[in-house]
Amino acid sequence: MNENLLTVREKSIIAGFYLSKFDSEGLRYLGFNSFKEAFNVVGLALGVSPKSIQNYRDEFDPLFPNARLGWHKRKTRDYCKIVFEKYKNYDIDKLSSILKKSLYRNPDIDILIEQIIEVDLDLETSFAKRLITGQAAEKYFINKFPTIEHFFGYSMEETTSLGCGFDFKLSSKVGYNFLAIEVKGVNELHGTISLTQKEYAVAKILGNRYFLFVVKNFKESPVHELYNNPLKSNLAFTKSEHRIIQATWNSQI
Protein backbone atom coordinates (compact mmCIF):
# COMPACT_ATOMS: atom_id res chain seq x y z
CA MET A 1 0.00 0.00 0.00
CA ASN A 2 1.68 3.18 -1.27
CA GLU A 3 0.61 6.06 1.00
CA ASN A 4 1.18 8.55 -1.84
CA LEU A 5 -1.21 6.67 -4.15
CA LEU A 6 -4.08 5.70 -1.86
CA THR A 7 -7.50 5.08 -3.37
CA VAL A 8 -10.60 6.65 -1.84
CA ARG A 9 -11.54 3.26 -0.39
CA GLU A 10 -8.10 2.84 1.19
CA LYS A 11 -8.34 6.33 2.70
CA SER A 12 -11.78 5.46 4.08
CA ILE A 13 -10.46 2.24 5.60
CA ILE A 14 -7.56 4.07 7.26
CA ALA A 15 -10.01 6.61 8.70
CA GLY A 16 -12.16 3.80 10.11
CA PHE A 17 -9.08 2.06 11.51
CA TYR A 18 -7.93 5.29 13.18
CA LEU A 19 -11.31 5.92 14.83
CA SER A 20 -11.48 2.33 16.10
CA LYS A 21 -7.91 2.14 17.37
CA PHE A 22 -7.80 5.52 19.14
CA ASP A 23 -11.52 5.87 19.90
CA SER A 24 -12.46 9.03 21.84
CA GLU A 25 -8.79 10.05 22.18
CA GLY A 26 -8.55 10.09 18.39
CA LEU A 27 -11.65 12.27 18.14
CA ARG A 28 -10.20 14.83 20.55
CA TYR A 29 -6.82 14.76 18.82
CA LEU A 30 -8.40 15.78 15.50
CA GLY A 31 -10.87 18.23 17.03
CA PHE A 32 -14.10 16.26 16.60
CA ASN A 33 -16.79 16.33 19.30
CA SER A 34 -18.47 13.04 18.37
CA PHE A 35 -18.20 10.03 16.08
CA LYS A 36 -21.22 11.21 14.08
CA GLU A 37 -19.47 14.50 13.37
CA ALA A 38 -16.31 12.64 12.34
CA PHE A 39 -18.26 10.32 10.02
CA ASN A 40 -20.00 13.28 8.37
CA VAL A 41 -16.92 15.43 7.91
CA VAL A 42 -14.49 12.70 6.86
CA GLY A 43 -17.07 11.09 4.58
CA LEU A 44 -17.88 14.36 2.82
CA ALA A 45 -14.20 15.30 2.54
CA LEU A 46 -13.55 11.98 0.79
CA GLY A 47 -16.74 12.06 -1.26
CA VAL A 48 -18.17 8.89 0.30
CA SER A 49 -21.16 8.15 2.51
CA PRO A 50 -20.58 8.93 6.22
CA LYS A 51 -22.03 5.45 6.86
CA SER A 52 -19.06 3.96 5.01
CA ILE A 53 -16.63 5.50 7.50
CA GLN A 54 -18.74 4.16 10.39
CA ASN A 55 -18.84 0.68 8.84
CA TYR A 56 -15.06 0.60 8.51
CA ARG A 57 -14.69 1.67 12.14
CA ASP A 58 -17.07 -1.12 13.16
CA GLU A 59 -15.08 -3.56 11.03
CA PHE A 60 -12.00 -2.98 13.19
CA ASP A 61 -13.74 -2.73 16.58
CA PRO A 62 -13.45 -6.46 17.42
CA LEU A 63 -9.67 -6.09 17.05
CA PHE A 64 -9.33 -3.35 19.68
CA PRO A 65 -10.27 -3.15 23.38
CA ASN A 66 -13.04 -0.54 23.11
CA ALA A 67 -16.62 -0.71 24.38
CA ARG A 68 -18.14 -1.47 20.96
CA LEU A 69 -18.67 -4.98 19.60
CA GLY A 70 -18.48 -3.96 15.96
CA TRP A 71 -18.77 -6.65 13.28
CA HIS A 72 -17.80 -9.41 15.70
CA LYS A 73 -19.94 -12.13 14.13
CA ARG A 74 -17.84 -12.42 10.98
CA LYS A 75 -14.18 -12.44 10.02
CA THR A 76 -12.37 -9.21 9.23
CA ARG A 77 -12.19 -8.63 5.47
CA ASP A 78 -8.81 -9.28 3.86
CA TYR A 79 -8.32 -5.71 2.60
CA CYS A 80 -8.98 -4.44 6.13
CA LYS A 81 -6.49 -6.95 7.54
CA ILE A 82 -3.83 -5.41 5.31
CA VAL A 83 -4.44 -2.00 6.89
CA PHE A 84 -4.51 -3.52 10.39
CA GLU A 85 -1.19 -5.29 9.95
CA LYS A 86 0.50 -2.22 8.51
CA TYR A 87 -0.67 0.34 11.06
CA LYS A 88 -1.45 -1.65 14.24
CA ASN A 89 1.73 -0.46 16.00
CA TYR A 90 1.55 3.19 14.92
CA ASP A 91 1.06 5.75 17.69
CA ILE A 92 -1.54 8.49 17.48
CA ASP A 93 0.89 11.15 16.23
CA LYS A 94 2.17 9.05 13.35
CA LEU A 95 -1.21 7.74 12.24
CA SER A 96 -2.82 11.18 12.59
CA SER A 97 -0.20 12.55 10.21
CA ILE A 98 -0.98 9.83 7.66
CA LEU A 99 -4.72 10.44 8.02
CA LYS A 100 -4.33 14.19 7.51
CA LYS A 101 -2.21 13.67 4.41
CA SER A 102 -4.85 11.34 2.99
CA LEU A 103 -7.76 13.70 3.69
CA TYR A 104 -6.41 17.17 2.97
CA ARG A 105 -6.82 18.33 -0.63
CA ASN A 106 -3.32 19.88 -0.69
CA PRO A 107 -1.69 18.02 2.21
CA ASP A 108 1.77 19.59 2.11
CA ILE A 109 0.36 23.13 2.10
CA ASP A 110 -2.55 22.46 4.49
CA ILE A 111 -0.35 20.79 7.10
CA LEU A 112 2.20 23.62 6.78
CA ILE A 113 -0.58 26.18 7.37
CA GLU A 114 -1.61 24.24 10.51
CA GLN A 115 1.95 24.45 11.81
CA ILE A 116 2.26 28.17 10.98
CA ILE A 117 -0.96 28.97 12.86
CA GLU A 118 0.17 26.99 15.91
CA VAL A 119 3.76 28.25 16.03
CA ASP A 120 3.65 31.78 14.62
CA LEU A 121 0.25 32.91 15.93
CA ASP A 122 0.30 30.77 19.08
CA LEU A 123 -3.22 29.48 18.36
CA GLU A 124 -4.61 25.99 18.60
CA THR A 125 -5.84 24.91 15.19
CA SER A 126 -8.35 22.15 14.60
CA PHE A 127 -8.08 19.68 11.75
CA ALA A 128 -11.83 19.08 12.06
CA LYS A 129 -12.64 22.79 11.84
CA ARG A 130 -10.47 23.26 8.76
CA LEU A 131 -12.25 20.40 7.00
CA ILE A 132 -15.72 21.62 8.04
CA THR A 133 -15.22 25.23 6.92
CA GLY A 134 -13.44 24.25 3.72
CA GLN A 135 -13.10 20.92 2.01
CA ALA A 136 -16.10 19.05 3.46
CA ALA A 137 -18.50 21.95 2.84
CA GLU A 138 -17.21 22.38 -0.72
CA LYS A 139 -17.59 18.66 -1.46
CA TYR A 140 -21.13 18.85 -0.12
CA PHE A 141 -21.87 21.66 -2.59
CA ILE A 142 -20.33 19.71 -5.48
CA ASN A 143 -22.55 16.74 -4.65
CA LYS A 144 -25.70 18.86 -4.32
CA PHE A 145 -25.04 21.16 -7.29
CA PRO A 146 -26.83 19.02 -9.93
CA THR A 147 -29.99 18.93 -7.77
CA ILE A 148 -30.30 22.69 -7.09
CA GLU A 149 -33.01 24.02 -9.38
CA HIS A 150 -31.64 27.57 -9.32
CA PHE A 151 -28.48 26.34 -11.06
CA PHE A 152 -30.02 24.10 -13.71
CA GLY A 153 -28.35 24.74 -17.07
CA TYR A 154 -25.10 25.97 -15.55
CA SER A 155 -21.68 24.35 -15.67
CA MET A 156 -19.42 24.53 -12.61
CA GLU A 157 -15.75 25.54 -12.31
CA GLU A 158 -13.88 25.40 -9.02
CA THR A 159 -12.08 28.68 -8.27
CA THR A 160 -11.04 28.14 -4.64
CA SER A 161 -7.32 28.32 -5.39
CA LEU A 162 -7.62 31.51 -7.47
CA GLY A 163 -8.28 33.82 -4.52
CA CYS A 164 -11.02 35.66 -6.41
CA GLY A 165 -13.53 36.02 -3.57
CA PHE A 166 -15.66 32.96 -4.28
CA ASP A 167 -15.24 29.19 -4.50
CA PHE A 168 -17.16 28.23 -7.65
CA LYS A 169 -17.93 29.96 -10.95
CA LEU A 170 -21.13 28.87 -12.70
CA SER A 171 -21.46 29.54 -16.43
CA SER A 172 -24.46 29.27 -18.73
CA LYS A 173 -24.47 28.65 -22.48
CA VAL A 174 -27.31 31.11 -22.95
CA GLY A 175 -25.76 34.08 -21.18
CA TYR A 176 -22.45 35.85 -20.74
CA ASN A 177 -22.78 36.67 -17.06
CA PHE A 178 -21.49 34.05 -14.65
CA LEU A 179 -22.70 33.30 -11.13
CA ALA A 180 -20.35 33.23 -8.14
CA ILE A 181 -20.78 30.76 -5.26
CA GLU A 182 -19.04 31.18 -1.93
CA VAL A 183 -19.32 28.11 0.33
CA LYS A 184 -19.26 28.27 4.13
CA GLY A 185 -19.56 25.51 6.72
CA VAL A 186 -20.67 25.55 10.35
CA ASN A 187 -20.84 22.66 12.79
CA GLU A 188 -24.22 23.49 14.38
CA LEU A 189 -27.61 24.42 12.94
CA HIS A 190 -26.78 27.98 13.95
CA GLY A 191 -23.43 29.69 14.12
CA THR A 192 -21.31 32.54 12.81
CA ILE A 193 -20.09 32.91 9.26
CA SER A 194 -17.56 35.48 8.10
CA LEU A 195 -16.82 37.14 4.80
CA THR A 196 -13.30 38.31 4.13
CA GLN A 197 -12.76 41.83 2.84
CA LYS A 198 -12.35 40.45 -0.69
CA GLU A 199 -15.45 38.23 -0.47
CA TYR A 200 -17.51 41.17 0.82
CA ALA A 201 -16.24 43.45 -1.96
CA VAL A 202 -16.97 40.89 -4.68
CA ALA A 203 -20.44 40.19 -3.24
CA LYS A 204 -21.16 43.92 -3.35
CA ILE A 205 -20.01 44.23 -6.97
CA LEU A 206 -21.83 41.15 -8.29
CA GLY A 207 -25.06 41.65 -6.35
CA ASN A 208 -27.67 39.15 -7.54
CA ARG A 209 -25.00 37.10 -9.28
CA TYR A 210 -23.33 36.27 -5.95
CA PHE A 211 -24.60 33.37 -3.82
CA LEU A 212 -23.66 32.25 -0.33
CA PHE A 213 -24.08 28.49 0.13
CA VAL A 214 -23.97 27.60 3.84
CA VAL A 215 -23.62 23.97 4.94
CA LYS A 216 -24.81 23.46 8.52
CA ASN A 217 -25.15 20.80 11.19
CA PHE A 218 -22.11 18.62 10.50
CA LYS A 219 -22.48 17.35 14.08
CA GLU A 220 -25.74 15.57 13.24
CA SER A 221 -26.85 15.55 9.59
CA PRO A 222 -25.59 18.23 7.18
CA VAL A 223 -28.15 20.49 5.50
CA HIS A 224 -27.74 23.68 3.53
CA GLU A 225 -29.19 27.13 2.97
CA LEU A 226 -28.71 29.27 -0.13
CA TYR A 227 -28.55 33.08 0.04
CA ASN A 228 -28.76 35.10 -3.16
CA ASN A 229 -27.14 38.55 -2.94
CA PRO A 230 -26.27 37.90 0.73
CA LEU A 231 -25.52 41.55 1.51
CA LYS A 232 -29.16 42.36 0.65
CA SER A 233 -30.63 39.25 2.28
CA ASN A 234 -31.91 38.61 5.80
CA LEU A 235 -28.34 38.07 6.92
CA ALA A 236 -27.02 40.98 9.00
CA PHE A 237 -23.28 41.43 8.54
CA THR A 238 -21.36 43.62 10.98
CA LYS A 239 -17.85 44.83 10.28
CA SER A 240 -15.12 43.64 12.62
CA GLU A 241 -11.64 45.13 12.45
CA HIS A 242 -8.50 43.65 13.95
CA ARG A 243 -5.18 45.41 14.34
CA ILE A 244 -2.36 43.07 13.35
CA ILE A 245 1.21 43.56 14.50
CA GLN A 246 3.46 42.34 11.69
CA ALA A 247 6.87 41.07 12.84
CA THR A 248 9.90 40.94 10.56
CA TRP A 249 13.20 39.16 11.05
CA ASN A 250 16.30 40.94 9.75
CA SER A 251 19.86 39.87 9.06
CA GLN A 252 22.96 41.59 7.73
CA ILE A 253 24.52 40.07 4.62
Query: Under DSSP, is residue 132 helix (H, G, I), strand (E, B) or coil?
Result: helix
181 close to 170: Cβ distance less than 8 angstroms: yes
In degrees and rounded to multiples of 5, residue 157 shows phi and psi of: -130, 130
User: How far is the C-alpha of 141 from the C-alpha of 177, rounded, in Å?
Assistant: 21
Q: Within 10 A of 4 (CB to CB), how many other CB atoms are there? A: 7
Q: Give pairs for 191-196: CB < 8 Å, separation 24+.
A: 191/216, 194/240, 195/230, 195/237, 196/165
- The per-residue pLDDT for 125 is 53
- The per-residue pLDDT for 121 is 46
- The per-residue pLDDT for 248 is 74
Which CATH class name applies to 134-232?
Answer: alpha beta
Dihedral angle, C-alpha 103, 187, 54, 213, nearest 10 °: -70
Q: Where are the domains of the chain?
A: 8-103, 134-232
- The per-residue pLDDT for 124 is 45
User: How far is the C-alpha of 2 from the C-alpha of 237, rounded, in Å?
Assistant: 47
- The per-residue pLDDT for 90 is 96
What pTM does this model have? 0.82
- Calculate ∠ Cα 16-158-182, nearest 5°: 90
- The per-residue pLDDT for 116 is 67
User: How far is the C-alpha of 215 from the C-alpha of 111, rounded, in Å?
Assistant: 24
Ranges in the chain, pLDDT < 70? 1, 115-125, 244-246
- What ranges in 76-178 are assigned the alpha helix state H? 78-87, 92-103, 107-120, 127-130, 137-144
